[in-house]
Amino acid sequence: MFTGIVTDLGEILSVEKIPAGLRTRIKTAYDPAGIDIGASIACGGPCHTVTAKGEDADGTRWFEVESAAETLALTTVGAWQPGKKINLERSLAMGAELGGHLVLGHVDGTARITRRVDHDDSVYFQFEASRESAPFIAKKGSICLDGTSLTVNEADGLLFSVFLIPHTLAVTTWGERGEGDLVNLEVDMMARYAARLAEFAREA
d(CA 72, CA 184): 11
Q: Is 2 part of the annotated catalytic residue set?
A: yes
Transcribe 70-139 into DSSP letters. Answer: HHHHHSSGGG--TT-EEEEEEPPPTT----S--B-S---EEEEEEEEEE-SS-EEEEEE--TTTGGG--T
For the chain, the straight-line distance linking the first and the last C-alpha, in angstroms and rounded, comes to: 32
d(CA 102, CA 81): 29
| Active-site option among 106, 114, 138, 163 | 106
Please answer whether residues 91 and 74 qualify as being in contact, where contact means their C-beta atoms are separated by less than 8 angstroms.
no
Q: Is 47 part of the annotated catalytic residue set?
A: yes
Q: Is 151 part of the annotated catalytic residue set?
A: yes
Q: Is 172 part of the annotated catalytic residue set?
A: no
Q: Is 101 part of the annotated catalytic residue set?
A: no
Residues 6 or more apart whose CB falls under 8 angstroms from that of 75 comprise: 44, 45, 46, 107, 109, 110, 184
| Active-site option among 151, 170, 194, 198 | 151
| Active-site option among 3, 24, 28, 40 | 40
Q: Is 33 part of the annotated catalytic residue set?
A: no
Residues composing the chain: 204
Q: Is 40 part of the annotated catalytic residue set?
A: yes
| Active-site option among 20, 29, 49, 52 | 49
| Active-site option among 68, 73, 96, 195 | 68
Q: Work out the number of other CB atoms within 10 angstroms of the CB of residue 39.
A: 15
| Active-site option among 3, 28, 42, 47 | 47
Q: Work out the number of other CB atoms within 10 angstroms of the CB of residue 56.
A: 10
| Active-site option among 2, 63, 125, 160 | 2
Catalytic residue positions?
2, 40, 47, 49, 68, 106, 151
